[in-house]
Amino acid sequence: MQFYSTNNNSSRVSTKQALFHSMPVDKGLYMPVSIPYQDISFFDKIAGGSLADVGYEICKALFAGEIADADLQQITHQAFPFETPVVALEDGALGVLELFHGPSLAFKDVGARFMASLMSYFSGKSDQEVHILVATSGDTGGAVAMGFHNVPGVRVSILYPTGRVSDLQEKQLTTLGGNVQAFEVKGSFDDCQALVKQAFLDTSLTNRIALSSANSINIFRLIPQSFYYVSAYGQSKRVGKPIVFSTPSGNFGNLSAGILASKMGLPVHHFIASTNLNHVVPDYLHTGTYAPKESVATISNAMDVGSPSNFVRLTHLYGDQFDTVAEHVKGYYFDDPSTEAGMQQIYSQYGYVACPHTAIGIMGAQQDKIRSTQDVYHIALATAHPSKFKPLVEQVLNIDVDVPERLAVLATRKKQSYLIDPDYGSFKEALLATI
Ligand SMILES: N[C@@H](CCOP(=O)(O)O)C(=O)O
């Protein structure tokens, strides 16, 4: 594969460069020069396979002649020892695609583990240590920490906004130790993301350390996320209706991954961008004007992003044609009281316990269903396990929520983090002091 920068259509880098350098120096984002189109028989043939098998078949189409089939088989099967099942809420009308069965209990495991696996494949051929920088509003950090923990030749630094992630999310970020360290930033997720982006453009730093990103600014976080859309198509074929995906969205990597799958040929009727009060993209879809804002804190904290990194990819995927984007992507947003009411309605109607992010995805699907004139199958993406937000979910639904063992063991561990101001000088000094 080759990649261009969204700021320079004629630039070209290889898979390895895009993976390790993550972000072009011109401040754009990498995009595939071409997305190999597959006809429907391809998707029908791989339907029903495991996530690892689906990923392997797509990788063969993407990386043919570049990475040997046997290596792709190893990369995908090492990355995905779990599944992403579609669970029916309303038979033939509404389902949830559960993406939280991986180690960190969030959809980010898919991208983070694929990246770790692919980086190990390439760095097996080099001696240089890679330093992964990642900004998180809650879920990415945990998945990256677990995905790269104790991976030889890799060091991980996580930046998160103090007081704006759940207790168990914070434990995932701050208790692993070893090659994983956390910086607690006195600011918002957008501040964390800005610090990471500035680090990539700081040559006095990048000349000393081989920096790489595991946020969705890295195109190799998005490519594997397209696999579960394909898997969901396979699992839902029996319904026999066009599919609409409702994607809870913050940085818009997850939605961009779905659109990438549709550009590969996956039949998707349309997408829904479901957000919380950080609704700059739904606003854009309604007005045509994109106006990033300061993020506001909500109970669906992982989606508290005011300036989504992947907006530019979203528009590039549709050739910068607003009418095409607006036709294929609908936007809905919900404030906290509506989210809590939605969690209650989903529990009482379907007996389904949804985290606030997943609830927003389901509510987006329900809103769209009301407006839809076509008989379609709505699939909402369930992005995180409800236990990651145990106190909130228990209080809103008045139930006990069990915490899976892999998360429960973290609860008694001691948090270790570096508290820093949200300015680049403080971050750089703190980062260099740890090396
Ligand atoms: N929602 C994210 C924010 C970072 O987004 P990413 O997709 O760029 O990693 C989180 O939970 O950290």
Could you tell me if 176 and 97 lie in one domain?
A: no
Please state, in angstroms and rounded to a whole number, the distance separating the CA atoms of residues 273 and 280: 11
Which runs of E-coded beta strand occur in 25-143? Answer: 30-32, 86-90, 94-98, 130-135
Q: How far is the CA of 428 from the centre of ligand 1 (A)?
A: 21
282's tokens: 């739904």
Could you tell me if 310 and 418 lie in one domain?
A: no
Could you tell me if 135 and 198 lie in one domain?
A: yes
By most ligand atoms within 8 Å of CB, the mutation choice from 100, 115, 159, 251 for ligand 1 is: 251
Could you tell me if 164 and 266 lie in one domain?
A: no
Does residue 275 fall inside a structural domain? yes
Could you tell me if 355 and 392 lie in one domain?
A: yes
pLDDT tier at 403, thresholds 50, 70, 90: very high
Average pLDDT over residues 190-206: 95
ipTM: 0.98
- Cβ of residue 57 lying under 6 Å from some atom of ligand 1: no
- Cβ of residue 253 lying under 6 Å from some atom of ligand 1: yes
Could you tell me if 258 and 388 lie in one domain?
A: yes
Q: Tell me what pLDDT residue 397 has.
A: 98
Q: Is 16 exposed, middle or buried (0-12, 13-18, 19+ CB in 10 A)?
A: middle
Any idea which residue has 């028989």 for tokens? 41
Which runs of E-coded beta strand occur in 276-395? Answer: 329-333, 377-382
Q: How far is the CA of 106 from the centre of ligand 1 (A)?
A: 11
Domain of 88, in residue numbers: 84-105+219-397
Q: How far is the CA of 243 from the centre of ligand 1 (A)?
A: 25
Please state, in angstroms and rounded to a whole number, the distance separating the CA atoms of residues 304 and 295: 6
Non-local (6+) Cβ contacts of 33 within 8 A are: 1, 2, 3, 4, 12
Does residue 277 fall inside a structural domain? yes
- On whether the CB atoms of residues 346 and 96 are closer than 8 A, the answer is no
Domain with residue 153: its CATH number is 3.40.50.1100
Model confidence pLDDT, tens digit, residues 311-369: 999 999 999 999 999 999 999 999 999 999 999 999 999 999 999 999 999 999 999 99
Does residue 20 fall inside a structural domain? no
- Cβ of residue 137 lying under 6 Å from some atom of ligand 1: yes
Q: How far is the CA of 239 from the centre of ligand 1 (A)?
A: 32
**Angle at 235 (CA atoms; ends 332, 80), nearest 5 degrees:** 90
Could you tell me if 231 and 205 lie in one domain?
A: no
Q: How far is the CA of 352 from the centre of ligand 1 (A)?
A: 25
Model confidence pLDDT, tens digit, residues 173-185: 999 999 999 999 9
Residues linked to residue 331 through DSSP beta bridges, in sequence order: 273
- Cβ of residue 138 lying under 6 Å from some atom of ligand 1: yes
Q: What is the pTM of this model?
A: 0.96
Please state, in angstroms and rounded to a whole number, the distance separating the CA atoms of residues 320 and 200: 26
In 3D space, the residue among 102, 39, 8 whose CA is nearest the CA of residue 267 turns out to be 39
Does residue 36 fall inside a structural domain? no
Could you tell me if 196 and 234 lie in one domain?
A: no
Longest dimension (CA), the chain: 59
